[in-house]
Structure 1
């Protein structure tokens, strides 16, 4: 834990203190404590249904893990076998080996919320607009059997990471449902207009409150802080593109890993003000079904916001769902 603490960036911490103490009020001190102390962080284990994971499941149970139940908040969610532990700590990761399929994927349990919310059906055409590092694409394939899963990642380095993840979790016999691209997501709406039944946008282009606190490069931290004002503009452009890529009647999920109201509900509000062909869907049933595993903020417009808490250190994660009329 000490090696993490010495990399805590005071510049970023001062910035988020000022910002979130106003937005979150009395909730912020607890959230701050969790975010700044990796010793409190929890990790989930997503099993790979393409493998025989019986022994891994037994081992997880002996360590005190239990399966994350979705409380029937989505149709196929019980097919996802995700194990969590109420205590901090991380199950060992498996190394990437060419030609060998991994048994499980380590992630934050809140990362599954966009997948459960997207609720992909078998045979559907699906776009994962900002797919790297690939965990959510893998989870979609555990959840259902889409007709096509288009995994897009514009950044060259992250795109390589994405392809390596897919190779590690999807056997060659199932690769035919996957396509990858390296496009600016803002162009996809024009290039693939009305092509998808479901679109997921889980944005790396956000404040990313958890990882940004541990920047050891002060100049990079200054640059990121100065760029934060432009993030909602990029996020809105990506969301507009996703709407254009949807077929009528299709749904999309917009998600970030930040607490920022400007990047979450304000972006959705802006879209609803200017795009008459989409409407938000109520997600209160999901919050009710999963409240025993996650701490949700109260009265968040147009979506759900997971707040990191002790013993429930998942998030932050904002999730909103829109349907195209």
Structure 2
């Protein structure tokens, strides 16, 4: 078993929540039907360390587009459970650390994390399906677009593949089995007709209040129309700036939300979704199958490698690499089911930075010269965020961090509360990589990365992101 899978808990796993009427529902990124519930229950429970949110439930979901209209009134069968209480041991550790690192922001962030009723979620539309009815429903209920068209064009290519495009992807019509590495599968160029796909566009709707939009059931042979997620998880994908025809590696991919967002932004030549844990990998494959058409699935590889090995096995292979690293997820860890579990998680927390640095170094080796790596986590902890980036920059003189403050934080400040990264633990800045290439100097703390801090009315996050480019 790969060590980082035993520690991993990402922000976009499904979890259980209570709505304002105190009725039980599933606000998940993967949807469950009566027929598939037992399968997913096995996937949840066979992880090495089950989380308190890996619960058994039975849900009757909607079976057609017409059922979505007004669906959040009484269409979902719910099972009541007691509300989870926070783990005092974990909360005390958070208080000790984050009050120093975040200052005045921590008290309000703390209030949000302790009030799951206030948590907001976004609805990312699937460009491969007809979403007109869903869009109208969202708008009628007060949802609005997170990314206006003008803003989206800044982050994504927005052009279809040219007719003479040559694909490096295997021309199969199903998800690839993780028996071979993506490097082996992409050795030969093979001609492939241009895809007749909708124009790439990332559409996400959000609501100013914690209104829950219902999940959709998996319907064999039909693609889902939308994906529910923490809207802050889209920011690393925007920072990646994937363009049509690029080869992209999602190094820590399960359960697959960011991989789906990548396919909404562009049509890559290759998207390698890596996940070493077999049960989480099945979950990932199911997610991809539920949202991507067969013509695009042929360009997707589900890999089973240890993420730390890509730097050697596939050096210089990819144009873009996303490292959504395993981390001490503040939202889930705060609700550890017992003090014993909380204590164990806090012990594991100390091991994470070394693992995260290994994954980031591997990504920087796997990306081609001139390519970019985005490192992200869903924790507020500076030791897992800017300190990891700083450590790797000191080890990799060919790596240059890029300022995301002007590109992402300022344009999206209306929706998210951003904080600059905090240089950590007395380390010496890596001077060569922090020297600007264009003659302009951005603040050191901006160049390490940016942090989304949950705040009242903007409960998105936590989410840290940093972009590092490998020199040509």
* TM-score, reference length from structure 1: 0.96
| Mapping 1:64-143, distance limit 5 Å | 64-69=142-147, 71=151, 73-76=154-157, 79-143=201-265
Match of 1:278 among 390, 399, 420: 399
Segment of structure 1 superposing worse, 71-80 or 5-14: 71-80
Count the aligned residue pairs: 324
Q: Distance in 2 between matches of 1:261 and 1:193?
A: 29
Q: How far is the alpha carbon of 1:175 from its aligned partner?
A: 1.0
Q: Does 1:198 align with 2:320?
A: yes
Q: Distance in 2 between matches of 1:47 and 1:254?
A: 24
Q: Alignment partner of 1:58: what SS?
A: helix
Q: Distance in 2 between matches of 1:323 and 1:102?
A: 34
Q: Distance in 2 between matches of 1:264 and 1:8?
A: 24
Counterpart of 1:245 in structure 2 is 366
Q: How far is the alpha carbon of 1:52 from its aligned partner?
A: 0.4
Q: Distance in 2 between matches of 1:99 and 1:218?
A: 44
Counterpart of 1:218 in structure 2 is 339
Q: Distance in 1 between matches of 2:275 and 2:404?
A: 27
Counterpart of 2:58 in structure 1 is none
| Mapping 1:167-316, distance limit 5 Å | 167-203=289-325, 205-285=326-406, 286-298=408-420, 300=422, 301=445, 302-316=448-462
Q: How far is the alpha carbon of 1:92 from its aligned partner?
A: 0.6
* Structure in which a larger fraction of residues adopt helix: 1
Segment of structure 1 superposing worse, 115-124 or 86-95: 86-95
TM-superposition CA deviations, 1:106-159 (whole Å, max 9, x none): 001101001100000100000000001101000100000000000001122211
Q: Distance in 1 between matches of 2:396 and 2:139?
A: 48
Q: How far is the alpha carbon of 1:76 from its aligned partner?
A: 3.9
Contact 1:280 1:320 in 2 (8 A): yes
Q: Distance in 2 between matches of 1:124 and 1:62?
A: 37
Q: How far is the alpha carbon of 1:5 from its aligned partner?
A: 4.4
| Mapping 1:58-69, distance limit 5 Å | 58-69=136-147
Q: Distance in 2 between matches of 1:108 and 1:40?
A: 13
**Runs of 4+ in structure 1 over 6 Å off:** none
Q: Distance in 1 between matches of 2:339 and 2:216?
A: 32
Q: Which has the larger radius of gyration?
A: 2
Q: Alignment partner of 2:371: what SS?
A: strand
Q: Distance in 2 between matches of 1:6 and 1:184?
A: 34
Q: 1:108 to 1:76 in 2, by over 3 A?
A: farther
TM-superposition CA deviations, 1:214-235 (whole Å, max 9, x none): 1213322211101111110000
Q: Distance in 1 between matches of 2:221 and 2:95?
A: 46
Q: How far is the alpha carbon of 1:4 from its aligned partner?
A: 6.7
Q: Distance in 1 between matches of 2:94 and 2:213?
A: 30
